[in-house]
């Protein structure tokens, strides 16, 4: 059974339908990516999983359990953490305080300390800036903080929304390397990206979303090689 099962998910924003029956499976240990153009409904799918928007139809099962009707803070407790689009860091708090809030749902002090150390080893840049206000970090560092903070919730499934957004290519490389590393230690990842090239290189499987529907799904490598994806998203011929 997949860790996350999305069945026929529909979402309306007022009169506008953003998702028309999207179905996605994520298995334990995978990196799965949703790629597609701006406004295709990728972020909406993530927001529906984390409870920030209410679906108008369909089902989301996490570990076999329906998430329907749960508020976001309950969904986090089930083991789904996210690094939201635009990062959503707490800019007037220090880097360390941001990390502490990431572990808000946990009570195991030793475990938190261990995970904090691990997160700082993954992101040495953050270790140097622990006492700095998060708002003064560079864009790349803020993205790192958003991922590190999600890591401190010790999620089984991590949702990443456009981690490459607005970042220089070198930093994007670094961040994707770390995403793979996080996955290698057992965290399942659902990754939403416009940067299809990077996303498909990191992921095991991918889904292509266009105007609220899944139009293609396959192994990441097969998708990267397919003509349709190359033409539409990878700038190939």
Partner 1 sequence: MASASLQERARALTPPALPTLVRAWLPVLVLGGLTLLLHFVVGPAVGPYYSKLLMDIGINVILAVSLNIVNGFTGQFSIGHAGFMAVGGYTAGMVTYYGGLSLWGSSLPQGGFLGPGELLFALSCLLGGLAAAGLGYIVGLPSLRLRGDYLALVTLGFGEIVRVLVQQTDDVLFSAEELAAVPVWTLPTKVGGALGFTGLPFYTSLFWVYLFVSLTLLVAFRLKASSHGRAYLSVREDEIAAEAMGIPTTRIKVRAFVLAAAFAGIAGALFAHEVGTTLNPRELGFQKSFEAVIMVVLGGMGSISGAGLAAVVITLLPEALRSVADYRMVVYALALVVMMLVRPQGLLGLHELWDLPLVRRLLRRGGGAR
Q: How far is the CB of 88 from partner 1 (least distance, A)?
A: 3
First to last CA, the chain: 38
* Residue number, 54 or 73, with CB nearest to partner 1: 73
Task: Tell me, residue by residue from 67 to 106, as one string, x for binding to partner 1 by CB under 8 A and - for no binding.
Answer: ----xxx--xx---xx-x---xxxxxx---x--xxx-xx-
Residues in Cβ contact with 67 at an 8 Å cutoff, skipping those fewer than 6 apart: 49, 51, 60, 61, 75, 78
Q: How far is the CB of 197 from partner 1 (least distance, A)?
A: 28
Q: How far is the CB of 105 from partner 1 (least distance, A)?
A: 4
* Residue number, 113 or 184, with CB nearest to partner 1: 113
Closest by CA to 83, choosing from 168, 182, 2, 7, is 182
* Residue number, 149 or 205, with CB nearest to partner 1: 149
Binding to partner 1, residues 19-58 (CB under 8 A): 50, 52
113 contacts partner 1 (rule: CB under 8 A): yes
Using CA of residue 197, residue 42, residue 180, residue 64, what is the dihedral sign?
negative
- C-beta contacts of 63-66 below 8 A and 24+ residues apart: 63/3, 63/156, 64/1
Q: How far is the CB of 223 from partner 1 (least distance, A)?
A: 29
143 contacts partner 1 (rule: CB under 8 A): no
Taking CA atoms, 167 is separated from 5, 38, 100, 163, 170, in Å, by 31, 17, 25, 8, 8
Q: How far is the CB of 21 from partner 1 (least distance, A)?
A: 25
H-only helix segments in the chain: 42-49, 72-77, 95-102, 109-122, 124-127, 139-151, 169-184, 196-202, 220-225, 227-233
Q: How far is the CB of 135 from partner 1 (least distance, A)?
A: 9
* Residue number, 86 or 169, with CB nearest to partner 1: 86
In the set 121, 128, 181, 219, which binds partner 1 (CB under 8 A)?
121
Q: How far is the CB of 89 from partner 1 (least distance, A)?
A: 7
128 contacts partner 1 (rule: CB under 8 A): no
How many angstroms separate the CA atoms of 38 and 83, rounded?
18
* Residue number, 52 or 222, with CB nearest to partner 1: 52
What dihedral do alpha carbons 75, 126, 202, 233 form, nearest 10°? Answer: 90
Q: Would you state the structure tokens that stand for residue 58, as one six-digit string?
A: 């369909």
The residues that touch partner 1, with contacts defined as CB under 8 A, are 50, 52, 71-73, 76-77, 81-82, 84, 88-93, 97, 100-102, 104-105, 113, 117, 121, 149, 153
């Amino acid at each position: 059974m997949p860790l996350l099962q999305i069945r026929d998910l529909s979402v309306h924003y007022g009169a506008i339908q953003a998702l028309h029956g999207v179905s996605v499976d994520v298995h334990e240990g995978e990196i799965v990516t949703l790629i597609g153009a701006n406004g295709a409904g990728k972020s909406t799918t993530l927001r529906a999983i984390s409870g920030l928007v209410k679906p108008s139809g369909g089902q989301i099962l996490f570990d076999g359990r329906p998430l329907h009707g749960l508020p976001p803070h309950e969904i986090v407790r089930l083991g789904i953490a996210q690094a939201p689009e635009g990062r959503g860091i707490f800019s007037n708090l220090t880097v360390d305080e941001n990390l502490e809030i990431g572990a808000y749902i946990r009570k195991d002090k030793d475990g938190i300390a261990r995970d904090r150390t691990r997160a700082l080893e993954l992101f040495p840049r953050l270790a140097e800036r622990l006492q700095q206000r998060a708002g003064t970090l560079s864009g790349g560092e803020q993205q790192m903080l958003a991922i590190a903070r999600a890591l401190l919730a010790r999620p089984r499934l991590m949702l990443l929304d456009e981690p490459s957004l607005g970042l220089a290519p070198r930093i994007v490389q670094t961040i994707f390397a770390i995403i793979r590393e996080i996955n290698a230690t057992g965290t399942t990842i659902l990754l939403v990206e416009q940067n299809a090239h990077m996303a498909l290189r990191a992921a095991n499987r991918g889904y292509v979303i266009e105007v609220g529907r899944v139009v293609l799904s396959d192994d990441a490598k097969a998708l990267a090689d397919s003509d349709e994806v190359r033409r539409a998203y990878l700038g190939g011929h």
